[in-house]
Amino acid sequence: MDKSTIQNHNRYMTAFLEEFGFGDEVKSALQDAFDRVFGDQDAARLFDEIRRRFEQSPDERFFYLIENADKIAATCAISPYTAYLLVLILLSESSKRIYAERKVSLEMWRRNMRDLRYTSDACLLVKGVYGTDSPRWYERFFNATRFTFGKLQFELCALGKPYQKDDLSLSPDDQAIFIHIPRTGERLLPEDVDASAQAAAAFFKERYGTRRTVFACHSWILYPENKNILSAGSNLYSFISRFEIIDVVEDAEHKELWRLFDKEYNGDPDDLPQDSSLRRAYVQRLKENKPLGVALGVWVYRQ
């Protein structure tokens, strides 16, 4: 890779980090990672392979990205999580062109790319390094098939379970508009949910021709026991109440706990932060060996 190309990549990364409000510490960590990667011919070649493959097949799963980023991390002695984030930030320039080709606005690209900052903040808390531990999550952000409206993210996916109510009948293969709640650190007020849902319903109707708006959400937040823990006036209680729960699965291995605690569970409940009523309630449930889990909910949207 020639010097001018490396300089262009560096300028792009610097501008991206500034535009999306990354802090000085993460900027420094990513600059160090960049210098290591593009100071090594083999690592730089691996990145170029990732970029070419994405541009040729933007809908391909990111397994190749993960495999090559792992090789980059090993070659350059950096954390794989940092390597994933660095690669994704640089790849976002190619993603911008995909958005243009698919007639998705640059503003939507900006909204979606902001998630890279959220994941960096979460990775520092959970893994102790700047980066991301979920690179595959970005497949649909990068190929313009997941969309951000306000504080929520939306994408069309198969519902996965049957649903029947009144005149609406859905098979597991029928699509619903799935809602994701990014970890922004901000409160999710009911009016925020209303505004996001209204914007998403209009967008999916125009872009995909959806005749009836059916939202779905699969999350630990919808686990039914949470409504017995939360105050009826809380924002999360309001969010949960919008959905009819159609499937519940226990999280016996506690894989989802990090989402609430910003920390991986080591088996000791007392080692988890207890600075909110919900966190304290979950710690108590762990001590009492009570089940935790995730749930799938359906929200038939009517304006």
Q: How do residues 223-259 score in pLDDT, each as one tens digit?
A: 999 999 999 999 999 999 999 999 999 998 999 999 9
By C-alpha distance, which of 42, 39, 130, 116 is closest to 83? 130
Mean pLDDT, rounded, of the chain: 96
Question: Torsions phi, psi of 180, nearest 5?
Answer: -120, 145
Residues 154 and 135 reside in one and the same domain: no
Angle at alpha carbon of residue 184, lines to 182 and 188, rounded to 5°: 80
Q: Which domain holds residue 11?
A: 3-142
Residues 153 and 292 reside in one and the same domain: yes
Count: domains in the chain = 2
Kindly report, residue by residue over 260-271, the tens digit of the pLDDT.
999 999 999 999
Q: CB burial class (10 A; 0-12, 13-18, 19+) of residue 34?
A: buried
What is the total residue count of the chain? 303
Residues 232 and 106 reside in one and the same domain: no
Contact 178, 282 (CB under 8 A): no
* Final residue in a domain of this structure, among 107, 142, 177: 142
Residues 284 and 164 reside in one and the same domain: yes
Average pLDDT for 160-165: 96
Residues 262 and 153 reside in one and the same domain: yes
Residues 159 and 80 reside in one and the same domain: no
Alpha carbons 69 and 75: distance in angstroms, whole number = 10
> CATH number for the domain including 176?
3.40.630.120
Neighbours of 278 (CB within 10 A): 17
